Amino acid sequence: MNNVFAVTGIVIKEMYRRKDFYVLLILTVLITGVMGSVTFFNDEKISRYLKEICLLLIWISSLVIAITTVARQMPSEKENRTIFPLLAKPITRGQVLFGKFLGCWLACGIALLCFYVFFGAITVSREHQFHFLSYFQAATLHWFMLAILIGMALLGSLIFAAPSSNATICFVAATAILLVGRHLNQVALTLRGGQQTFVYGVYYAIPHLEIFDVRDLIIHNWPGIAWPYYATAALYALIYGGLFVTAACLIFRRKALN
């Protein structure tokens, strides 16, 4: 595990030395600040629209950070030939991949922490109350969702030739799952035969990222999620993320590097 953590540290260093994260954080703060400065009908206590806008920006930023960070990890190593001195050390390819996964996931976790601290500050300033439990669950579920996405993008980076195509496919897949993944079973009911089987197959195969999107719960101040369900969702994310990383390791193990 020492090797894995060493690679993890390098990935985290890379993320906070690049500008992407800071740009997105500043954009989020600016846009939320501008939206928060608007008053509607002289009522300064309106807060939910601001929470929704802030959370939407956080979600978009997190998807951008996660997917673009991961999509360029392995292609960049190969393109810059840094993979050769790395694999010439006593480190397995699986350790490199797992280190990359862990590094990206932890880096996204740090970014999410910054975003959600800002979100908490906005909420407290407007509502004068802080639902710590709900926000903690929302932030951590968001982080677990990113584990699935990072695993997916890591696998994609070994399959697709260009980081841009991998990133595009991951963005489209993530957005599609978040928007319509939950409803595929309803769509399947309206179909027949092979089409129905196909849609059902997709419905059961895809990682259901929408489970982790609990924005409505915290925007509208619903109570927190029961802990057994929360734990099950976390386990689901780690299993799915693990599956993607395992598939990536199996592909990378056999790949000739020359």
x/- letters, 115..154, toward other proteins (CB under 8 A): --------------------------x-------------
Question: How close are the terminal C-alpha atoms of the chain, in Å?
Answer: 27
If one asks whether residue 186 binds other proteins (CB under 8 A), the answer comes out as yes
Beta bridge partners of 40: 43
Which are the contacts of 30, defined by CB distance < 8 A and separation ≥ 6?
none
3-class secondary structure per residue, 44-61: CCCCHHHHHHHHHHHHHH
Residue placing its CB nearer to other proteins in the complex, 16 or 27: 16
Q: With binding defined as CB under 8 A, does residue 223 bind other proteins? A: yes
Which stretches of 56-167 are assigned E, i.e. beta strand? none
E strand spans, the chain: none
Site string for other proteins, 225-254 (x = CB under 8 A): xx--x--xx--------------------x
Q: Are 143 and 112 in contact (CB under 8 A)?
A: yes
E-state strands within 76-132: none
Nearest to residue 76, comparing CAs of 154, 148, 1, 16?
154
DSSP 183-234: GHHHHHHT--HHHHHHHHHHHHHS--GGGG--HHHHHTTPPPPPHHHHHHHH
Please state the closest distance from residue 26 (CB atom) to other proteins, in A.
20
CB contact set of 225 (below 8 Å; sequence gap of 6+): 137, 214, 217, 233
In the complex, minimum distance from the CB of residue 186 to other proteins, in angstroms, rounded to a whole number: 5
Asked if 43 is part of the footprint of other proteins (rule: CB under 8 A), the reply reads: yes
The minimum distance between CB 139 and other proteins, in angstroms, equals: 14
Stretch that binds other proteins, among 8-16, 56-64, 104-112, 166-174 (CB under 8 A): 8-16
Binding residue for other proteins, selected from 72, 100, 142, 208, defined by CB under 8 A: 208
Instruction: Pick the binder of other proteins from 22, 198, 204, 227 (CB under 8 A).
Output: 204
Q: Is 102 in the site for other proteins (CB under 8 A)?
A: no
Between 47 and 168, CB nearer to other proteins? 47
**Identity of residue 172:** V
Which one of residues 19, 37, 80, 161 is an interface residue with other proteins (CB under 8 A)?
Answer: 80
Residues of the shown chain interacting with other proteins in the complex, contacts defined by CB under 8 A: 2-3, 6, 9-10, 13-14, 17-18, 40-43, 45-49, 80-82, 84-92, 141, 180, 182-183, 185-187, 189, 203-204, 208, 210-214, 216-217, 219-223, 225-226, 229, 232-233, 254, 256-258
